[in-house]
Structure 1
Amino acid sequence: MNKVFLLPLVLATLFMYLIDRKSLKSAPAVNRWVSRVLYVISIGIWIYGTSTKSSVYVATWLSRFIDMWIPPVL
């Protein structure tokens, strides 16, 4: 894994969380969980992207996942 790229992302995510901490405390519980889950997912995507040698990108997986909810073209 390329840890040189992982460290700045983890630091940036931690910095964003520290900045948003005050607004997250006043947000409803559901919004707090959604924010924390998105932070963890972004770190997971970055770890996968820097550790794999394959050409399958996470954006491809996400686009197929999102296509399930998009209505067909008229």
Structure 2
Amino acid sequence: MNKVFLFPLVLVMLLMYLNDRKSLNSAPAVNRWISRVLYVISIGIWLYGTSTKSSVYVATWLSHFINMWLPPAL
């Protein structure tokens, strides 16, 4: 996978964080914590996906983990 094509995704994520910074600072502490953890997890998934040659995609097993927390029918 070419890292050059994934660079715009990281740039957009950074711009989203900078754009949401004021609203995050005024949000309750729990929401700030969850939002920042999700940003860090997203960056970690991106780094793992671009630094390994593995065929195991983090988003796949992460979606199975998230699926356990969702209600049966949305």
TM bin, normalised by shorter chain, reads: 0.7 to 0.9
Map of 1:31 onto structure 2: 31
Taking structure 2 as the reference length, the TM-score comes to: 0.74
Map of 1:61 onto structure 2: 61
Q: Report the count of equivalent residues.
A: 72
Identity between Structure 1 and Structure 2 (%): 85
Does structure 2 retain, via aligned residues, the 8 Å contact 1:49–1:57? yes
Structure 1 residue 5 displacement after superposition: 4.2
**Structure 2 residues not aligned, in runs of 5+:** none
**Structure 1 residues not aligned, in runs of 5+:** none
Provide the alpha-carbon RMSD of the alignment: 2.4
Which structure exhibits the higher relative contact order, with contacts defined as CA atoms closer than 8 Å and separated by 6 or more residues?
Answer: 1
- Where do 1:1-40 residues align within 5 Å? 3-5=3-5, 7-40=7-40
- Decide which structure has the larger Cα Rg and report it: 1
